[in-house]
Chain A
Amino acid sequence: MQAKELKAPHIRLKDSARSTMLDVLIALLPLYFMATYFYGARALALGGVSLLSAVAADVICVFLSGRRPNPRDFSALVTGLLIPLMLPASVPYYVPVTAAVFAIAVVKHPFGGVGQNIFNPAAGGFAFVSVCWPSLVFSYPQPMFSLPITGELPARLAESPAHALMLGAVPTIDKLDLMLGKFAGPMGVTNILVLATCFLYLLFRRAINWQAPAAFLGMTAAIAYLFPRIPVSRSESVAFELLSGTLVFAGIFLLSDPVTSPKRGLSRFVYGALAGAATMLLRYYGGFEQTAAFALLLVNSFTLLLDHELERLFRIVRRAVLGFRAYRRNQRIIKKV
């Protein structure tokens, strides 16, 4: 038999980094549509500015590292579009620009660029601007009020329900509005129904895994159920904690980032659960109302460790099982003899 010589790559799947990023970009479109519906064209302008900044920073960093920009790499586009969705529509343009440049030039490229970064760039960018300008990042305009693209913003800014939760107060919002995102909050992450649709689309396209988001949302829901922060029923506590901020969005779009999340199924479960616990701990004891990005950055540092240690655990269990089977087989043989 003559072996046929074939050139690499030998695994020919339709999925690639490009197709995954393209799917994420497609999933982000409905969120921008909703943001534009709630806050007018300013939402799109913020997205555009952030996108351009991220791409420009990416190209500059690639040139500085002595490589050529890859036109098939959409990761900078995804980062650029993710950041403004977590910000209020009233935020000045320099905030998403700073976040995007920080995400690319500090969080992504110094660690090796695409596929090498340890921390989620979008979460890093958002965390940086949250720390720099908390008053701008955590003050939100009311929805259904079109904001001008430039000039003075006439809208009166308000605190989000997450802020009320942080203070231990019960948000006075209708549950349906909470589901539809009709409350003062981040411009593109409050509509849970649209987010759920995006999640299903990404799952169907296999662009993301289900384990990490499921464990993340499950853990946050469990903690909210067991230890409610506000004097309401346990189920209401779960609803308020899950729906009042960037939590669901972070679970779907940030946590399932294929680069910064673990590679094994069980590791992803543990990773998601850890991120959920960290998010709730930061909510209970931290200084900010939106804590998912901070928790994610914290848990990102355990990704390699999780993969490594759980692999070791699997090996130990496998060896123990095999050893036990061999022992029983030997016992049977001895009995027969």
Chain B
Amino acid sequence: MASERTAGTSGLLKRFKQALGENPVLLGGLALAPVVMVSTTVKNAVALIIVMACTLIPAMVLEALLAKYAPKVPDFARMSICALVAAAMLMPAKMAVAPLAQNIFDSLGMYLALTGVSALMFLHSPGRQPEEPLPAAVDAVGGVLGFALAALAVGAVREVFSLGTLWGSPMGFTLKFPAAAMPFAGFFAVAFAAAAWNGLSALTRKIAGRGAKRKGAVR
């Protein structure tokens, strides 16, 4: 029993690592529009992450629950229910981001509201099948963390370049590049972040491969 639980826990951990490693923005190209348009500062990126977490995790868990306990519900109805839940979760998300800045939800336009649609895109991403609720929740948390990494990196770089600040605090730069806050710079920032992510992944695989070879040689 204990070994089963350990195997289950390590399986979930592996799954979490996989979900985190397969970054939905940088590798999957999902939810690009909100990252490019909204992640102009770290504060905006945090607001986006909160909204994404509020919509994606419940939607994915609900989809898994429906698939398990109500398998007769057709696919289109299940997706519609998930979409409705994701849209309903925007209301608590709006309250959750309110402490960050006044009217931040409204000032960021439709892109925060559209995050509900991004949750659906995650659900429909290629190769994804409805599964058990717990692994689905782990997948969702991993996906949100991966999304958070990308949004924070893009937001931080763009804020430093465009405003010379980080989380609103001045960094002491006199030279600023206001164009970094524009959408085209968002695409460039995401592209560079994706390249860096790929580079890091390749390096990690290389190091892991060397370690495995060394272990094999010792044995």
Q: Which residues of A pack against B, CB within 8 Å?
A: 94, 98, 106, 110, 128, 131-132
Contact = CB atoms under 8 A, between A and B. Distances in A.
* 3 nearest A-B pairs in the assembled complex, by CB-CB distance: A131-B179, A132-B179, A132-B177
A132 B195 CA distance: 25
Given A106-B188, A110-B191, A110-B195, A94 B175 contact: yes
Interface in B173-214: 175, 177-179, 182, 188, 191-192, 195
Contacts of A110: 191-192, 195
Interface of B: 175, 177-179, 182, 188, 191-192, 195
A132 B178 contact: yes
Contacts of A98: 177
A128 B179 contact: yes
A94 B182 CA distance: 20
Nearest to B192: A110
Contacts of B192: 110
A330 to B, nearest CB: 52
A23 B30 CA distance: 46
A128 to B, nearest CB: 6
Nearest to A128: B179
A95 to B, nearest CB: 10
A131 B182 contact: yes
A110 B178 CA distance: 22
Contacts of B177: 98, 132
Contacts of B182: 131
Nearest to B177: A132
Contacts, number: 13
13 contacts: A94-B175, A98-B177, A106-B188, A110-B191, A110-B192, A110-B195, A128-B179, A131-B178, A131-B179, A131-B182, A132-B177, A132-B178, A132-B179
Contacts of A131: 178-179, 182
Contacts of B191: 110
A110 B195 CA distance: 9
Nearest to A131: B179
A16 B17 CA distance: 51
Contacts of A106: 188
Contacts of A128: 179
A110 B175 CA distance: 24
Contacts of B175: 94
Nearest to A133: B178
A261 B64 CA distance: 51
A44 to B, nearest CB: 24
A98 B175 CA distance: 11
Given A94-B175, A128-B179, A131-B179, 10 more contacts: A98-B177, A106-B188, A110-B191, A110-B192, A110-B195, A131-B178, A131-B182, A132-B177, A132-B178, A132-B179
A224 to B, nearest CB: 28
Nearest to A94: B175
Contacts of B188: 106
Interface centre among A94, A98, A110, A131 (most CB of B within 10 A): A131
A92 B195 CA distance: 32
Interface centre among A110, A131, A132 (most CB of B within 10 A): A132
A98 B185 CA distance: 14
A253 to B, nearest CB: 23
A64 to B, nearest CB: 10
A277 to B, nearest CB: 22
A94 B173 CA distance: 14
Contacts of A132: 177-179
A54 B178 CA distance: 22
Contacts of B178: 131-132
A296 to B, nearest CB: 15
A128 B180 CA distance: 9
Nearest to B195: A110
B199 to A, nearest CB: 10
A132 B164 CA distance: 13
A62 to B, nearest CB: 16
B112 to A, nearest CB: 25
A98 B195 CA distance: 22
A131 B179 CA distance: 6
A42 to B, nearest CB: 20
Contacts of B179: 128, 131-132
Nearest to B175: A94
A106 B191 CA distance: 10
Nearest to A106: B188
A106 B195 CA distance: 13
B198 to A, nearest CB: 13
A101 to B, nearest CB: 11
Nearest to A92: B175
Nearest to A134: B178
Nearest to A110: B191
B162 to A, nearest CB: 9
B187 to A, nearest CB: 11
Nearest to B188: A106
Nearest to B178: A132
A131 B183 CA distance: 12
